[in-house]
C-alpha cells in the first residue's frame, strides 16, 4: 500500500487503521452486549411491559345471586341501571354542521337537552370532560335513566349519532324495608372488608355486603367477574379482542323466612305500644327461622341509589337505631322469661319437687333488704305451675336461694343464653350470663346472695338477645335440644336426593320428661290459665304455651309502702317480653318478642306474638294472604321517577 509514501508513513497508517478497526469492533461489541442484556437477560421484563402497553382489561361484572323467601318469592334482584353514553367521535363526524365552527358534540347535546332536561352547567361539564379525553372513548352523560327518558331516547336513537344506552346491573330490593335486617345492605368495599373476605379479590369501588345475608353470604352471592382482554394501540383505541373470560354469576339464595309472617311481625311491632322491638319466629325442632323482625327498619335500596345528606344523618342519629338488627344485636334483661331456666335448674338439681309450694306475701327480705314481687298483695301459697303462670317473683327468690348462682348459670348456658347462637349472620351479640368468676373478673368483687335473687327473675346483670330467647324457648318446647338458628336454606348438594333429615341439634339437655312436662304445664297456664299473665292473647283454635316478661330498664322507684312509681320518661319504661310456642302439645313454632319500652309483657308483647302466630296457623290452613308490598309502597322513594322505573322492571312482562 501507499507505495508512493515513505515507509514510516505506511507502517504508521497501517497501525492507525488497525486501531480504527479495533475501536469500531469494540463499539459494536458494546452494542451487542447491550442488546444481549436487553433482549436475553431482561427480555421477559420488557415483554411484560410490552403486554402492559398493548393489553387493556375490561371487566365483565358477574351478576350477584338473587335472594328468595321460603315460598320462592323474589326479594332481591339485579336490575339494569340504564346509562346514557356517548362517543364524541361519532357525533363530531356525523353532526358536523355546514357552517364553519359547528361543533358536532355541542349539536348532539342540544338535541339531547329537551329529552334529558340537561342544564347549561351539565353541558359545560360534559364539553370540558370531552376535551380532556380522546374522542373515541365513551363518555357517560347520565346514570339512573328513567323509563320515560329511556323511551324518549330509544325512539330517536337514529337521529342521535354516537349515543348508546348501556345497562349496568344494579341491586334492587323489591320488598323495600321488609326484612331489611335479615337481607342486609351493601356498600363500597373497604380494606377491612378485604381482610374479612381474604379469598375474594375485590376491586376498588366494588360493592360488598355490609350486613344481613348480603354480608354473611357474600362468598356465595358474589360471582366471579369476567374479563375482556383487549388489544389497544398507543392512543387507547381498541384494535381487537384477545380473550374473553365469561363471568360466573353468583348463586341464588333462598331464605327460610316467610315474608307474609315477616310483614305481619314488622307491622305488629310498629303498631305495638313501644313501636320498636324485635320478633323471632323459629321452628323449635330445627332452628329454621320463619321471621326475624326488627323495628324500625330501613330501605336497603337507599344504599344503592344514595342518601340525601340529611336522610343519612337522620338514619344514624335515630335513637331507635334502625340499622341495628335488634333480634341478634339488641341485648335486654330477659325478665320473667328467664324463670323457666331457674325452674329447670332447680328440678334437675333436686331442689324442687312437683308439689312444693312457696308462700308469697308480696315480698321477701334478705339482709334487711326487701325484694318485691310484682304483685304487691302477694300470691299467697303458690305452686310451681302457678308460679310460672302468674310469674310470682317471690317463688323464684326462694328457688334462687335453693339453686344458687352456679346452678342457674350452668342451666342458662345449657339453654343457649350468654353465648352466641351461631346464626348465619354477622354481628350477633352474646348477651351476658353472669357467674361468680365473671363478676370477679370484670367487677373485681365477690358475688352477693342478693344478686342471685334478681338474676333468678331475669334482672340484674343478665342480658339476652331475642334470638337467644327464641333458642331457649325452642329447647324447652322440644324437650331440651338446642339448635343453631339459620335463615338461609342449606345448599342442596344433590337435587334428586334432598336431605330427609333435618339439622342435628348443637347439644341436648336431656331433661327428664316429668320435669319438662311441669314447665310445659306452667307455660300453658300462662296463656290458658284463669290467672295466666298472657290469658288475653289466646290463639285462634290452637293452644299456645308461653311466658311473659317485663324487663326493667331503670331501677324502679317505690313509695314507702312499696307501690311502684311509674316513670313518665318513655326511655325508662320497661321492655315488654314474650316467649312461647304453639301448638302446646306438638310445637311447630317458637317465638320470642320484645317490644322496647312497651311496658308489661302480657298486655304488650304477647299480642304481637299472637298476631304473627295466628297468621301462621291461618296460612297453614290455606287461607290466602294479602299481597306483599313492593319497594315503592313500603318506602316511597324520593324520586318518583325512580320508583316508576323499578315498578316496571319488577314486572316480568
Partner 1 sequence: MSAPIKHVDQETSPPIQPADPRADQRGQRTTPVGGLLSIDGTTTLGWRERWQRFPWSLLALLLITSALGLVVLYSAVGGYTGQQETSNIQYLLRQSGRFGIGLVLMFVVAFAGSERVYRRYAYLAYGISLALLVAVFLAGSISMGARRWLDVGFMRIQPSELMKVTLVLALARYYHDRAVVVGFGWRDLGIPLLLVAMPLALILKQPDLGTGITMAAVGMVVIVVAGLSWRMILLSLTLLLAALPVAWGALHDYQRQRIYTLFAPERDPLGSGYHIIQSKIAVGSGGLLGKGFMAGSQSHLDFLPERHTDFIFSVLAEEWGFVGCITLMILYMLITFRGLLIASMAHHRFGLLTAVGFITLFAFQVIINIGMVIGLLPVVGIPLPLISYGGSSLITLLFSMGLIAHVGIYSKHHGRTI
The smaller minimum CB distance to partner 1, of residues 42 and 156, is found at 42
The bridge status of strand 67-68 relative to strand 253-254 is parallel
Burial class (CB in 10 A: 0-12, 13-18, 19+), 484: middle
Give the span between the Cα atoms of 75 and 406, in whole angstroms: 46
Please report how close the Cβ of residue 123 comes to partner 1 at its closest, in angstroms: 30
Cis peptide, bond prior to residue 583, ω within 30 of zero: yes
Q: Is 650 helix (H, G, I), strand (E, B) or coil?
A: helix
Q: Least CB distance from residue 56 to partner 1, whole Å?
A: 11
CB of 135 to partner 1, least distance (A): 16
Angle (CA) 59 63 69, round 5°: 165
Q: Least distance from C-beta 58 to partner 1, angstroms?
A: 17
Least Å distance between CB 179 and partner 1?
52
Note the Cα 121 to chain centre separation in Å. Answer: 40
Nearer to partner 1, 36 or 448 (CB): 36
Binding residues vs partner 1 (CB under 8 A): 1-6, 8-9, 12-14, 16-17, 20-21, 24-25, 27-28, 30-32, 34-36, 38-40, 42-47, 49-51, 53-54, 231-235, 239-240
SS3 423: coil
Q: Rank residues 233 and 536 by Cβ distance to partner 1 and give the closer one.
A: 233
Q: Residues near 41 by Cβ (< 8 Å), separated by ≥ 6?
A: none
Q: Which is nearer to partner 1, 37 or 359 (CB)?
A: 37
| Phi–psi pair at 188, nearest 5 degrees | -70, 140
Q: How far is the CB of 90 from partner 1 (least distance, A)?
A: 20
Instruction: Report d(CA 204, CA 171) in Å as an integer.
Output: 18
Bridge partners of 78?
Answer: 171
Residue whose CB is less far from partner 1, 12 or 514? 12
Report the candidate in 328, 407, 391, 392 with the shortest Cα–Cα distance to residue 358: 392
- Is the CB of 14 or the CB of 557 nearer to partner 1? 14
- Distance in angstroms between the alpha carbons of the first and the last residue of the chain: 99
What does the DSSP 8-state code read for residue 231? E
- Is the Cα dihedral 181, 186, 190, 195 positive or negative? positive
- Please, what is the angle between helix 339-348 and helix 466-478, to 10°? 40
As a whole number of angstroms, the distance between CA 618 and CA 444 comes to 53
- Distances in Å between the alpha carbon of 215 and those of 65, 226, 483, 511? 12, 22, 22, 37
Q: Of 232 and 413, which has the nearer Cβ to partner 1?
A: 232
Q: Which of 47/586 has CB closer to partner 1?
A: 47
For residues 50 and 504, which CB has a smaller minimum distance to partner 1 in the complex? Answer: 50
Least distance to partner 1, CB of residue 45, Å: 7
User: What is the closest distance, in whole angstroms, from the C-beta atom of residue 154 to partner 1 in the complex?
Assistant: 34
Contact present, 85 and 141 (Cβ < 8 Å)? yes
Nearer to partner 1 among residue 8 and residue 624 (C-beta): 8
* Residue 485: closest CA among 499, 473, 497: 473
CB of 490: closest distance to partner 1 in angstroms? Answer: 50
Helix (H) or strand (E) holding 532: none
CB of 86 to partner 1, least distance (A): 25
Q: Quick one: how far is CA 49 from the chain centroid?
A: 43
Amino acid at each position: 500500500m501507499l507505495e508512493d509514501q515513505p515507509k514510516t508513513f505506511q507502517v504508521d497508517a497501517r497501525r492507525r487503521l488497525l486501531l480504527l478497526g479495533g475501536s469500531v469492533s469494540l463499539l459494536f461489541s458494546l452494542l451487542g452486549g447491550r442488546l444481549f442484556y436487553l433482549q436475553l437477560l431482561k427480555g421477559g421484563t420488557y415483554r411484560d411491559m410490552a403486554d402492559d402497553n398493548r393489553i387493556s382489561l375490561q371487566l365483565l361484572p358477574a351478576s350477584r345471586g338473587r335472594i328468595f323467601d321460603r315460598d320462592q318469592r323474589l326479594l332481591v334482584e339485579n336490575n339494569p341501571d340504564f346509562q346514557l353514553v356517548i362517543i364524541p367521535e361519532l357525533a363530531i363526524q356525523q353532526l358536523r354542521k355546514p357552517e364553519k365552527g359547528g361543533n358536532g358534540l355541542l349539536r348532539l347535546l342540544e338535541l339531547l337537552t329537551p329529552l334529558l332536561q340537561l342544564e347549561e352547567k351539565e353541558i359545560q361539564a360534559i364539553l370540558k370532560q370531552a376535551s380532556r379525553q380522546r374522542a373515541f372513548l365513551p363518555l357517560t352523560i347520565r346514570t339512573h335513566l328513567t323509563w320515560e327518558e329511556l323511551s324518549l331516547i330509544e325512539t330517536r336513537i337514529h337521529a342521535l349519532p354516537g349515543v348508546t344506552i348501556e345497562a349496568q346491573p344494579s341491586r334492587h330490593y323489591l320488598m323495600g324495608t321488609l326484612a331489611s335486617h335479615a337481607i342486609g345492605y351493601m356498600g363500597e368495599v373497604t380494606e377491612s372488608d378485604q381482610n374479612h373476605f381474604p379469598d375474594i379479590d375485590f376491586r376498588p369501588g366494588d360493592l360488598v355486603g355490609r350486613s344481613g345475608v348480603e354480608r354473611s353470604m357474600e362468598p356465595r352471592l358474589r360471582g366471579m367477574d369476567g374479563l375482556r382482554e383487549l388489544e389497544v394501540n398507543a392512543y387507547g383505541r381498541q384494535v381487537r379482542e384477545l380473550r374473553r373470560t365469561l363471568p360466573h354469576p353468583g348463586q341464588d339464595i333462598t331464605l327460610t323466612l316467610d315474608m307474609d309472617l315477616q310483614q305481619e311481625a314488622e307491622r305488629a311491632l310498629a303498631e305495638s305500644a313501644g313501636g320498636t322491638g324485635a320478633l323471632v319466629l323459629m321452628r323449635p325442632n330445627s332452628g329454621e327461622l320463619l321471621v326475624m323482625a326488627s323495628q324500625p327498619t330501613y330501605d336497603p335500596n337507599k344504599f344503592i341509589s344514595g342518601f340525601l345528606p340529611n336522610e343519612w344523618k337522620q338514619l344514624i342519629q335515630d335513637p331507635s337505631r334502625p340499622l341495628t338488627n335488634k333480634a341478634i344485636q339488641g341485648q335486654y334483661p330477659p325478665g320473667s322469661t328467664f324463670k323457666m331456666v331457674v325452674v329447670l335448674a332447680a328440678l334437675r338439681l333436686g331442689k324442687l319437687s312437683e308439689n312444693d309450694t312457696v308462700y308469697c306475701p308480696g315480698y321477701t327480705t334478705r339482709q334487711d333488704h326487701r325484694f318485691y314481687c310484682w304483685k304487691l298483695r302477694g300470691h299467697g301459697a303458690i305452686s310451681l305451675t302457678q308460679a310460672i303462670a302468674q310469674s310470682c317473683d317471690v317463688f323464684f327468690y326462694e328457688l334462687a336461694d335453693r339453686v344458687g348462682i352456679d346452678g342457674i348459670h350452668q342451666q342458662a348456658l345449657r339453654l343457649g343464653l350468654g353465648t352466641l347462637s351461631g346464626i348465619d349472620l354477622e354481628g350477633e351479640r352474646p348477651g351476658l350470663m353472669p357467674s361468680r368468676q365473671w363478676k370477679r373478673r370484670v367487677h373485681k368483687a365477690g358475688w352477693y346472695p342478693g344478686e342471685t335473687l334478681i338474676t333468678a327473675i331475669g334482672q340484674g346483670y343478665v342480658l339476652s338477645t331475642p334470638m337467644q330467647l327464641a333458642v331457649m324457648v325452642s329447647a324447652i318446647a322440644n324437650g331440651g335440644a338446642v339448635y343453631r338458628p339459620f335463615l338461609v336454606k342449606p345448599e342442596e348438594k344433590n337435587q334428586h336426593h334432598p336431605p330427609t333429615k333435618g339439622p342435628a341439634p348443637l347439644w341436648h339437655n336431656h331433661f327428664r320428661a316429668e320435669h319438662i312436662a311441669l314447665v310445659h304445664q306452667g307455660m300453658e297456664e300462662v296463656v290458658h290459665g284463669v290467672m295466666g299473665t298472657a290469658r288475653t292473647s289466646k290463639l285462634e283454635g290452637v293452644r299456645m304455651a308461653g311466658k311473659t316478661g317485663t324487663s326493667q330498664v331503670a331501677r324502679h322507684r317505690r313509695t314507702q309502702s312499696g307501690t311502684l312509681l311509674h316513670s313518665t320518661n318513655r326511655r325508662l319504661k320497661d321492655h315488654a317480653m314474650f316467649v312461647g310456642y304453639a301448638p302446646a302439645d306438638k310445637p311447630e313454632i317458637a317465638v320470642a318478642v320484645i317490644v322496647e319500652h312497651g311496658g308489661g309483657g302480657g298486655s304488650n308483647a304477647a299480642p304481637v306474638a299472637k298476631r304473627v302466630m295466628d297468621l301462621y296457623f291461618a296460612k297453614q290452613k290455606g287461607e290466602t294472604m294479602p299481597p306483599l308490598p313492593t319497594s315503592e309502597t313500603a318506602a316511597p322513594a324520593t324520586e318518583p321517577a325512580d320508583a316508576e322505573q323499578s315498578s316496571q322492571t319488577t314486572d316480568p312482562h
